[in-house]
Chains A and B, each alone.
Chain A
Amino acid sequence: MIYFDSAATSLYKPDEVADAVYDAIKSMGNSGRGAHGAALEAGRMVYDTRLQLARLFHINDCSRIAFTSNATESLNIAIKGLLHPGDHVITTELEHNSVLRPLYEMQQQGVEISFVKSDSIGRILPDQMKTQILRGTRAVVCTHSSNLTGNVPDIAAIGALCRLHNLIFVVDASQTAGVFPIDVEQMGIDILCFTGHKGLLGPQGIGGIYVGDNISLIPLKTGGSGSQTFHKTHPANMPDLLEAGTLNVPGIAGLHAGVSYLLNTGLDAHREAEQALMWHFYNGIKDIAGIRIYGDFTVKERSPIVSFNLGEYDSAAVCDQLAEDYDIYTRGGGHCAPLMHQALGTKEQGAVRFSFSFYNTREEVDFAIQAVKQLAKV
């Protein structure tokens, strides 16, 4: 099996990740519930993971990071906890349904949404965003990378625009956390939503949210916090505010191992290896007759993703045949980014998406190039 679907989840992970999950299940109690050894062991590990994430994202105060189940939950917390009827919010056509669907729900409640349009290769420009700012604009919600094209918007420029106009900047880092450097201060990010199971190399079911210290969110969930038992209201302090109920301690332990690996080895070498595989694949397939590759390949910095279609073939059928005949695992069809598909003209056909891991090899990519060439032959 050759796995080229790392944008969906990083199947290849350091062995330490699985070991950490196993060890946590065997030895750790419930973090923040009780003061015995097993509970404290969990609590220390959870705290250390917050510190690691704070280091990774250049966050001064690690208590501003709460653990969630995934980026979708984080984005729901951010969007529904921040916006009120009458607010205006700006987002982009690059967004995933994890941003769009919560926003559409808020639209039903009276929030107004403006979309920054993409060009035909999936780019947005911060200048276009500037023209959308209104008197009642409260926030900008933007992805750090399209999951479909791999294009990476200029987050620092958008962050600077938000600071200038006093807008809250919410960033969806689903595809970039653990892959690209993220500095919440330098990039002007007020709320960072991330998942643990992609670039951060953790297990599925763990994610997180960073909330700047000047922002107060209404939590989606309230309940057990391990503290203030006799209060009728949930604690207002971060991270407890957003962490009602027992944490996913084995998931956080796995995330701890993944982030430790990244901090020890550095993001740049991994990303550059993935980008080298991406360019090798791109160059190997770009001249196939009838191929259409989506996204901006004129720039160096992009997520290690190549999405394409072969003539008018159903992208789902191409993926299926790659899996059945070549044992190459990719993703086809729609990619939960409806506005991006519309902008690229792939609403009907979907797209075949290859996404790369630093665990992939050049030989695997060579094999995939030959497979795509063979499939392209009528």
Chain B
Amino acid sequence: MRKKEWKVVITFKTTTGAMGMEKLCKEEGISGRLIPVPRQITAGCGLAWCDKLESREVLEKVMSVHNLVYENIYEMEI
């Protein structure tokens, strides 16, 4: 397995929310990708948005501007 790195992980209540996040980030030219929710956390939906730690602020801002509802934001080593 690859070496663990610190990431920002955003969870959603539903798959619909996670898909909305992917579409939004693609439209806004923001990096990151969907991953299966890491075992350390639980979420309504099995998909989470994952990106480098430095992107947290940008992600929070874009979700806020577009009223995208997420469940939680974590910073974790995965």
Contact = CB atoms under 8 A, between A and B. Distances in A.
Contact of B46 (A313, A325, A333, A348): A333
The CB with the most chain A CB atoms within 10 A, among B1, B35, B38, is that of: B1
Contact of B38 (A310, A314, A325): A314
Interface string A7-48: 000000000000000000000000000000000000000000
Interface in B32-66: 35-40, 46
A299 interface: no
A320 interface: yes
Contacts of B38: 314, 316-317
B23 interface: no
Contacts of B78: 314, 317
B24 to A, nearest CB: 21
A292 B35 CA distance: 24
B74 to A, nearest CB: 14
Interface in A325-378: 325, 332-334, 348-350, 375, 378
A316 B37 contact: yes
Interface string B1-31: 1100000000000000000000000000000
A333 B36 CA distance: 8
A319 B39 contact: no
Interface residues of A, number: 19
Contacts of B2: 321, 325
Contacts of B40: 314
A44 B46 CA distance: 41
B1 A317 contact: yes
A315 interface: yes
A318 interface: yes
A375 B39 contact: no
Contacts of A375: 1
A319 B1 contact: no
Contacts of B35: 316, 320
Nearest to B36: A316
Contacts of A321: 1-2
The CB with the most chain A CB atoms within 10 A, among B36, B37, B40, B78, is that of: B36
Contacts of A378: 1
B1 A310 contact: yes
A373 to B, nearest CB: 12
B72 to A, nearest CB: 16
A252 to B, nearest CB: 26
The CB with the most chain B CB atoms within 10 A, among A310, A313, A333, is that of: A333
B40 to A, nearest CB: 8
Given A310-B1, A375-B1, A348 B36 contact: no
Nearest to A332: B36
B35 to A, nearest CB: 5
Contact of A348 (B1, B37, B39): B39
A336 to B, nearest CB: 10
A316 B43 CA distance: 13
Contacts of B1: 310, 313, 317-318, 321, 375, 378
Contacts of A319: 36
Nearest to A348: B39
Contacts of B36: 316-317, 319-320, 332-333
A302 to B, nearest CB: 26
Nearest to B4: A317
Contacts of A350: 39
Contacts of A320: 35-36
B45 to A, nearest CB: 11
18 contacts: A314-B78, A317-B1, A317-B36, A317-B39, A317-B78, A318-B1, A319-B36, A320-B35, A320-B36, A321-B2, A325-B2, A333-B36, A333-B37, A333-B39, A334-B46, A348-B39, A349-B39, A378-B1
Given A333-B37, A350-B39, 19 more contacts: A310-B1, A314-B38, A314-B40, A314-B78, A316-B36, A316-B37, A316-B38, A317-B36, A317-B38, A317-B78, A318-B1, A319-B36, A320-B35, A321-B1, A325-B2, A333-B46, A334-B46, A349-B39, A378-B1
Interface of B: 1-2, 35-40, 46, 78
